[in-house]
Amino acid sequence: MIYLDNAATTKTAPEVVQAMLPYFTEQYGNPSTIYGLGAEAKKALNQARRTIAAAIGAKQEEIYFTAGGSESDNWALKAAAEAYSQKGRHIITSKIEHHAILHTCEYLEKQGYEVTYLDVDNDGLVDPEQLKAAIRPDTILISIMYANNEIGTVEPIAELGAIARERGILFHTDAVQALGQVPVNVDELNVDMLSASAHKLNGPKGVGMLYIRTGVKIRSFVHGGAQERSRRAGTENVPGIVGFAAAVERAMKDLDGKMKKETELRDYLISRVENEIPYCRLNGHRTKRLPGNVNFSFQFIEGESMLIMLDMKGICASSGSACTSGSLDPSHVLLAIGLKHEIAHGSLRLTLSEENTTEEIDVVVEELKRIVAKLREMSPLYEDFISKKGAK
Ligand SMILES: *Cc1c(COP(=O)(O)O)cnc(C)c1O
């Protein structure tokens, strides 16, 4: 099997599993209890919080553990909107956010908030000038993702965050695709809130965190016990949190080396596809891009068909249609960067990890060449295109 869907989820690293195991077995105490067993769990929890805080330049009391990226995004938007509703009811985000942000915004619109969805350019970049122009006296919150999960474009968060700060507006970033892939520092980025998720960086599924800068007013998300400074009740997912911290530690150990390796492999894959497969288009910014992200549109064919044929060869990838929702609509991200429906439908996302090799990429390119040619052979659109071209 060749796994090229690391933006969907990643393999839990063996050392992460090892770090978690004792907290399922001997160290099963509840961190809220006062006897030794609970104290051990509490210690592990505090240590994990320190590790993650240090990795993003935050204070440990600014890290709140959640059940993943979607929960963190929901919490940041809903609770901040509520807490600041006296000041105004206008929120700004972008058209290429993850559904955890977009659907939360739609929910907030039903609650009487107004949301501005910023356009992006053909590479998927948010324009700081457009952000400035969208800000109103009643704007209370801006949420722009750090890096896009489909096309890999990395947004100018430090610049956007500075604009928000200058005007006294809360700034949140969904950094789920960024943490462990590119440097993340909450002060350098000028952010007030930041979401992350363990399973996107070789940690376990179902655990994430929301960074909330000291001084930010925000409502509790889960009401109940006093866990997470009374803001997110519920007995902590101790093994998951320990695994999250182990994954962060692992990713930070040689982030530069990992980025360099993945970037080289990414650019090798991009150049081979561009040189060897006609009528394709690279989606996302060429350089302001996650080290492991490759996204192409292939004219005249369907992404879904490519996925099925790649799967038959043991290659895991992802396409540009919202197949998860059962709809055949092309992805909102590909439409936002200006792709026509039929082009967006022929999209393929390949996301790398540092474990992928040049040999694997060579296998994938050869398969892709074969698959694209075969699908085009069966495509009436392609036939039409070629006959018109011949007629000229
Ligand atoms: C995966 C992802 C999420 C959701 O995270 P979960 O932990 O799966 O809930 C949110 N935002 C982005 C950008 C993602 O890639």
Residues 194 and 298 in one domain: no
Total number of domains in the chain: 2
Q: What is the pLDDT of residues 310-322, one digit of tens each?
A: 999 999 999 865 5
pTM value is: 0.97
Kindly report the average pLDDT of the chain as a whole number: 96
Our mutation pick for probing the ligand 1 site, out of 101, 174, 201, counting the most ligand atoms within 8 A of Cβ, is 174
Nearest residue (CA) to ligand 1, atom 6: 69
Residues 166 and 19 in one domain: yes
pLDDT, position 389: 87
Instruction: Give the domain CATH number at 346.
Output: 3.90.1150.10
Residues 161 and 282 in one domain: no
Place of tokens 């001997």: 26
pLDDT, position 71: 98
* Dihedral-angle region of residue 57 (phi above 0 means left; psi in -120 to 50 means alpha; beta otherwise): left
- The rounded Å distance from CA 194 to ligand 1 centre is 12
Residues 150 and 80 in one domain: yes
**d(C-alpha 235, C-alpha 41), whole Å:** 11
Residues 224 and 237 in one domain: yes
Residues 258 and 248 in one domain: no
Residues 246 and 311 in one domain: no
pLDDT, position 326: 56
Residues 174 and 291 in one domain: no
Place of tokens 């609770």: 79
pLDDT tier, 102 (very low <50, low <70, confident <90, very high otherwise): very high
Instruction: Give the domain CATH number at 139.
Output: 3.40.640.10
Where a domain ends, among 197, 221, 253?
Answer: 253
Average pLDDT over residues 11-29: 97
Residues 323 and 354 in one domain: yes
- The rounded Å distance from CA 126 to ligand 1 centre is 20
pLDDT, position 329: 80
End-to-end CA distance of the chain: 44
CB distance 10 to ligand 1 below 6 Å: no
- The rounded Å distance from CA 69 to ligand 1 centre is 5
Q: 118: domain range? A: 14-253
Residue 10 has, within 13 A of its CA and on its CB side, a CA count of 29
* Max Cα–Cα distance, the chain, nearest Å: 84
**SS percent in the chain: helix, strand, coil, step 5:** 45, 15, 40
CB distance 68 to ligand 1 below 6 Å: yes
The residue among 162, 171, 166, 112 whose CA lies nearest residue 140 is 171
Share of the chain above pLDDT 90, in %: 95
Residues 266 and 316 in one domain: yes
CB distance 52 to ligand 1 below 6 Å: no
Contacts from 187-194 at CB under 8 Å and sequence distance 24+? 187/57, 188/57, 188/158, 189/146, 189/157, 189/158, 189/161, 190/157, 190/158, 190/160, 190/161, 190/162, 190/164, 190/165, 191/157, 191/161, 192/164, 192/216, 193/76, 193/80, 193/218, 194/56, 194/146
Residues 55 and 197 in one domain: yes
Is the CB of residue 268 less than 8 Å from the CB of residue 358?
yes
pLDDT, position 325: 46
Is the CB of residue 126 less than 8 Å from the CB of residue 157?
no
Where a domain ends, among 237, 253, 269?
Answer: 253
Our mutation pick for probing the ligand 1 site, out of 70, 73, 195, 349, counting the most ligand atoms within 8 A of Cβ, is 70
Residues 349 and 384 in one domain: yes
Report DSSP state, residue 38.
Answer: H
CB distance 155 to ligand 1 below 6 Å: no
